[in-house]
């Protein structure tokens, strides 16, 4: 098999290549004053978060998974003038700054070497770090204010892009603190030679759609959660495009609670085998899906595809029907309500499958992990006491670029 092949048609085919982002200087920008705005529930111990992330990456590479680091990919594309110009412009596209400060920031960023620029685009640029700062907005700012805000949520590489078949969807992130992440993933997908010629399925200018809400249930079948981060319009747009490009025949649209604890579909359910998933017990019996399909005749313009919508039906029933299987197994974690809520909050349902019946999970979710093992799923436990402060588990922290077909 070509190790440079890209694409995925399931959540559980053997994982070959994945994009990770090792937490770095951007996490050191978090303070009690800004962590809520930057979507973290606390101020993580950065050195420990890095140790935990290194342990995660080591488990992947030890099982033959190629790990691509986002900062290295970004540094490489910043050697290309077109990518550099795009990313500098995106970094200063902020109405807070005003024209004078924008010009000063562009001059500063444009003078940085690729590696230094990559670090600054991720970690941000504070007022007192800007060479040649000037203008009214600059003078009014406090020394610790950010001209270019940091991107601590880059850790969660699943959200800003998702591969469907051999094409990549650059997503439209809902929260203002994360908007600029998609400009980085788009630049990498567009300009890095590793991904030359890859079709782009979605764009950050479209309706809100986040990768954590997109599950590849199996070949030709997607589930898309709609709630706090992904809108029904985003799910509809994605459905039209995957149908028009022959990447799927069914999209299940799954409403989820618009709450921090259930920000994405993958916070409550992830696949651990070709016909099995682990799911938060509190929603196992109430989760429903609308089934979206399309006729055989597709117009050239994907965005005018007429969709057929039916439902709602219980999610597990609709999923099994779409996947062409008798039933979708939901692993019963056997949790009491309090433990279930605690382990869901700690990303117990956010697993990353390395292959069928082999999944990475946070070690702290002991009861959920024991239930997975009892159901025949080998669990690869990793530490995550600091990584989890941004509310994301192993699936959130990984963007599969290549999986074997089932």
Task: Give me the active site residues, please.
Answer: 396
Phi/psi zone of residue 33: left (φ > 0), alpha (ψ -120 to 50 degrees), beta? alpha
- Given a contact cutoff of 8 angstroms between Cβ atoms, the answer to whether 367 and 343 are in contact is yes
Q: Prior bond to 297 cis, omega within 30? A: no
Q: Which residues contact 195 (CB under 8 A, 6 or more apart)?
A: 6, 168, 188, 189
> Which residues are registered as beta bridge partners of 378?
358
In whole angstroms, give the CA distance from residue 270 to residue 352: 8
Structure tokens at 187: 């630049």
3-state secondary structure of 296: coil
Length of the chain: 406
Instruction: Write the CB contacts of 71 (distance below 8 Å, at least 6 apart in sequence).
Output: 21, 22, 24, 118, 119, 122
Element (H, E) at 105: helix 98-110
What is the number of other CB atoms lying within 10 angstroms of the CB of residue 203?
A: 15
Torsion angle, alpha carbons of 402, 372, 210, 199, to 10: 20
* Residue 241: other Cβ atoms inside 10 A: 22
Considering only CA atoms, which of 167, 154, 189 is closest in space to residue 71? 154
Helical (H) or strand (E) element with 309: strand 307-314
């Amino acid at each position: 098999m070509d190790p440079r092949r890209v694409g995925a048609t399931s959540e559980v085919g053997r994982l070959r290549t994945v994009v990770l982002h090792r937490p770095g200087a951007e996490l050191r920008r978090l303070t009690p004053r800004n962590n809520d705005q930057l979507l973290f529930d606390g101020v993580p111990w950065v050195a420990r978060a890095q140790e935990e992330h290194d342990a995660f990456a080591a488990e992947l590479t030890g099982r033959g998974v190629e790990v691509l680091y986002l900062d290295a990919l970004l540094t490489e594309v910043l050697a290309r003038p077109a990518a550099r110009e795009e990313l500098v412009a995106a970094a200063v596209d902020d109405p807070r700054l005003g024209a004078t400060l924008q010009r000063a920031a562009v001059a500063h960023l444009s003078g940085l070497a690729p590696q230094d620029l990559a670090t600054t685009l991720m970690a941000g640029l504070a007022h007192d770090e800007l060479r040649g700062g000037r203008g009214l907005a600059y003078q009014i700012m406090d020394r610790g204010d950010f001209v270019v805000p940091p991107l601590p949520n880059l850790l969660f590489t699943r959200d800003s892009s998702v591969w469907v078949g051999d094409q990549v969807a650059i997503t439209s992130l809902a929260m203002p603190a994360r908007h600029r992440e998609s400009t980085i993933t788009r630049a990498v997908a567009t300009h890095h030679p590793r991904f030359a010629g890859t079709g782009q399925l979605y764009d950050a200018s479209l309706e809100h759609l986040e990768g954590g809400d997109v599950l590849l249930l199996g070949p030709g079948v997607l589930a898309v959660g709609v709630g706090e981060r992904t809108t029904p319009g985003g799910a509809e747009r994605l459905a039209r495009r995957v149908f028009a490009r022959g990447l799927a025949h069914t999209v299940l649209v799954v409403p989820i609670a618009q709450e921090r604890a259930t920000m994405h579909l993958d916070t409550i359910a992830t696949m651990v085998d070709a016909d099995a998933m682990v799911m938060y017990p509190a929603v196992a019996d109430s989760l429903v899906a609308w089934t979206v399909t399309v006729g055989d005749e597709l117009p050239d313009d994907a965005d005018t595809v007429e969709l057929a919508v039916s439902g709602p039906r219980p999610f597990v029933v609709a999923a099994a029907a779409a996947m062409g299987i008798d039933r979708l197994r939901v692993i019963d974690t056997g949790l009491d309500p309090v433990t279930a809520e605690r382990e869901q909050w700690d990303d117990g349902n956010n697993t990353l499958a390395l292959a069928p019946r082999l999944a990475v999970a946070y070690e702290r979710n002991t009861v959920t992990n024991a239930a997975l093992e009892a159901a025949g799923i080998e669990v690869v436990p990793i530490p995550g006491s600091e990584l989890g402060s941004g509310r994301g588990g192993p699936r959130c922290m990984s963007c599969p670029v290549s999986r074997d077909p089932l």
